[in-house]
Amino acid sequence: MNEEKIVTRFAPSPTGFMHIGNLRTALYAWLLARANGGRFIVRIEDTDQVRLVEGAVEVILQTLRQTGLDYDEGPEVGGEHGPYVQSERKEIYRKYAEELVAKGQAYYCFCTPERLQQLHDEAAAADSVGGYDRHCRNLLPEEVAERLSRGESYVIRQKIPLEGVTSYTDEVFGEISMENKEMQDQILLKADGYPTYNFAHVVDDYLMGVTHVVRGSEYLTSTPKYVLLYDAFGWPRPHYVHLPLLMGQNEDGKISKLSKRHGAVSFQDLLQAGYLPQAIVNYIALLGWCPKDSNQEIFNLAELCQAFSIDGISKSPSVFDYGKLNWFNSEYIKQLSPTNFAERVMPLLKQKCPSDGLNLDKLAQLLHTRVSTINEAANMVDFVAERLPLDLANYTNKKNKTTPELCLRILQEVQPRLVACADWQNDTLFELLKAYAAESGVKAGAVMLAVRLAVARQAVTPGGATELMEVFGKAESLARIELAMAELQ
RNA sequence: GGCACGUUGGAGAAGCGGUUUAACUCACCAGCCUUUCACGCUGGCAUUCAGGGGUUCGAAUCCCCUACGUGUCACCA
């Protein structure tokens, strides 16, 4: 495989947003090129003018930028094989399609969409799946010429051999064979003059020198038709690298192709949900690929390039697991510097906890090791934003042997010391409470519990008693202790 | 329905005919640590590789069949 310089491409269709499965395909194609000192091309496949979505190209390019998948040729950067947008290469395809007709490997078809629909309906009625009946395959040249000159609407179809078998070797799935009689005379050039994907990608991959076609395994069984096209032109076939599909788990436990019903499935959705680009990339890299002789899981792009190889790609589909993504994300969040993390949560904290006097920097610090996504911080700080109702039963704790009565006593005895405290920060407060515990003979754990509950008004909190007091500041902390004592009275 | 591909624990997976009593990670459970939670640490979690037949001295690893799953059969990509 090293006899030639590897050239791969990512060829998305701008028909929506960046699906995570698409991103993963882009990643693998990029990795294959970069890991072998090859080139990576981006090509926009916008031959379906009906499904075009405004702004989709920009989303695709932006995603590539955000994930660090740089390309050598493509939109915006150009290159020697441009243009890289298929709608701008329209005439190229016609020329090649006509060449195929001349070679007897393709033919003009004048069948109307209505007739095709009828064919389809009849097949469906017979409880089967029918294809095109090759009605125009053997039209006389004179008839074709005449109908063409009359300006009749037409498409150009590939002339698939009626007999025999077509095989190719996929780099991950091995040899794939398909009986020619199973294949349809697929349309190469549509009535609107645009090529189909089936044709355009073959022509472009050849013209752009793509050596390895990397794409999802949904193309596994249509590839024989593409291979036939290469053969018809007399072009060398590229290597094929089909990737296992990405699945999602449904509520009933069944799995199916990853889609919106499984939750956030576009790169943008995931960013919106608080995931970091590199965590997403790291996670999807491992969905369907595994490094050889290593148990490493945390990889940055450079490390992925080092470790990546085709034989690490598996054949079986994998289920996208948000739980594991969360773990990756929390690892990447922990890697963030305290300041960097603080910058990211701060907008959210300021919005949720606008009141003055709160130490949001301290809050951010507490949150750093406790969240798996930035957004998760939102539901964790409600108790800071407002004084939540607290069930007094929480003051009864078996491990620390506390009761509401004990807690009340603790709060009453500790309050004057807190009022007198001049240095309102964690370490000082902690020492203060410990000193009280030692002097009073009450267990330190009990003291911490009473104070934490009084201040937080919530059983489980992101931080201990004294850390939270630092967050609340002296005034609010004392006010809450005051409130707690009243409730316990 | 035809064809194609897949099937190792709840999820990602290693494994490529013999020291594998199936590695590692997430999740889960238990314990430790600890000012709760989280972090961290320790231990548990498939006697078995979809099922059934073969081949072999020996199979998760090779072959066949069955089951199940997914993909594909568009003037979509």
Give the CATH number, domain containing residue A453: 1.10.10.350
Distance, Å, A310 CA → B23 C1': 21
CATH code at position A292:
1.10.1160.10
- A36 inside domain: no
DSSP one-letter code for A9? E
Q: What is the pLDDT of residue A319?
A: 94
CB of A201 closer than 8 Å to CB of A45: yes
Residue A85: CB less than 7 A from any atom in strand B: no
Q: What is the pLDDT of residue A1?
A: 45
Q: Which of A116-125, A134-143, A178-187, A223-232 has the lowest average pLDDT?
A: A116-125
Q: Has residue A350 got a pLDDT over 90?
A: yes
Q: Has residue A386 got a pLDDT over 60?
A: yes
CB of A471 closer than 8 Å to CB of A362: yes
Q: What is the pLDDT of residue A347?
A: 95
Over residues A358-381, mean pLDDT = 94
Question: Are residue A349 and residue A318 in the same domain, yes or no?
Answer: no
Over residues A421-432, mean pLDDT = 94
Over residues A371-380, mean pLDDT = 94
- A261 inside domain: yes
As a residue count, chain A comes to 489
- Taking the stretch 313-332 of protein chain A, residues with Cβ within 7 Å of any atom in nucleic acid chain B are 314-319, 321, 323-324, 326-327
Identify nearest nucleotide to residue A15 by CA to C1′ distance: B77
Over residues A265-289, mean pLDDT = 95
- Taking the stretch 107-166 of protein chain A, residues with Cβ within 7 Å of any atom in nucleic acid chain B are 111-113, 116, 120, 127-132, 153, 155
Question: Are residue A364 and residue A404 in the same domain, yes or no?
Answer: no
DSSP one-letter code for A85? B
Residue A209 backbone zone (phi > 0: left; psi -120 to 50: alpha; other: beta): left
Phi, psi of A131 (to 5 degrees): -125, -165
Residue type, A47: T
pLDDT tens sequence across A76-105: 999 999 899 999 999 999 999 999 999 999
Q: Has residue A215 got a pLDDT over 90?
A: yes
Phi, psi of A23 (to 5 degrees): -60, -40
CA A481 – CA A478 distance, rounded (Å): 5
Q: What is the pLDDT of residue A263?
A: 81
Tell me which nucleotides of strand B come within 7 A of a protein CB. Answer: 1-8, 10-16, 23-27, 34-39, 69-77
A489 CB-contact burial (10 Å; exposed 0-12 / middle 13-18 / buried 19+): exposed
Q: What is the pLDDT of residue A123?
A: 85
Domain range for A279 is 247-334
Q: Has residue A4 got a pLDDT over 80?
A: no
CB of A190 closer than 8 Å to CB of A155: yes
Over residues A19-30, mean pLDDT = 97
Question: Are residue A454 and residue A477 in the same domain, yes or no?
Answer: yes
Q: Is the peptide bond before A83 cis (omega within 30 degrees of 0)?
A: yes
Q: What is the pLDDT of residue A423?
A: 93
If one compares A395 and A123, the residue with the highest pLDDT of the two is A395
CB of A368 closer than 8 Å to CB of A334: yes
Over residues A185-204, mean pLDDT = 97
pLDDT tens sequence across A462-488: 999 999 999 999 999 999 999 999 999
Question: Are residue A261 and residue A324 in the same domain, yes or no?
Answer: yes
Of A334, A353, A373, which one is at a domain's C-terminal end? A334
Question: Are residue A349 and residue A315 in the same domain, yes or no?
Answer: no
Q: Has residue A2 got a pLDDT over 70?
A: no
Identify nearest nucleotide to residue A448 by CA to C1′ distance: B35
**Which residue reads 């096209």 in tokens?**
A229
Over residues A322-326, mean pLDDT = 95
Average pLDDT, chain A: 94
Of A325, A356, A385, which one is at a domain's C-terminal end? A385
User: For chain A, what percent of residues have pLDDT higher than 90?
Assistant: 88
The angle subtended at Cα A268 by Cα A339 and Cα A367, nearest 5°, is 30
For the record, the structure tokens of A424 come out as: 């309102």
Count: domains in chain A = 3
Q: Which residues of A are catalytic?
A: 260
Residue nearest to nucleotide B72 (CA to C1'): A221
Q: Has residue A180 got a pLDDT over 90?
A: yes
Nearest to A131 by CA among A182, A201, A176, A78: A182
CA A450 – CA A454 distance, rounded (Å): 6
Q: What is the pLDDT of residue A468?
A: 97
Question: 3-state class of A212 per DSSP?
Answer: strand
Q: Which of A113-122, A224-233, A251-260, A475-484 has the lowest average pLDDT?
A: A251-260
- A282 inside domain: yes
- Taking the stretch 382-401 of protein chain A, residues with Cβ within 7 Å of any atom in nucleic acid chain B are none
Of A350, A368, A385, which one is at a domain's C-terminal end? A385
- A356 inside domain: yes
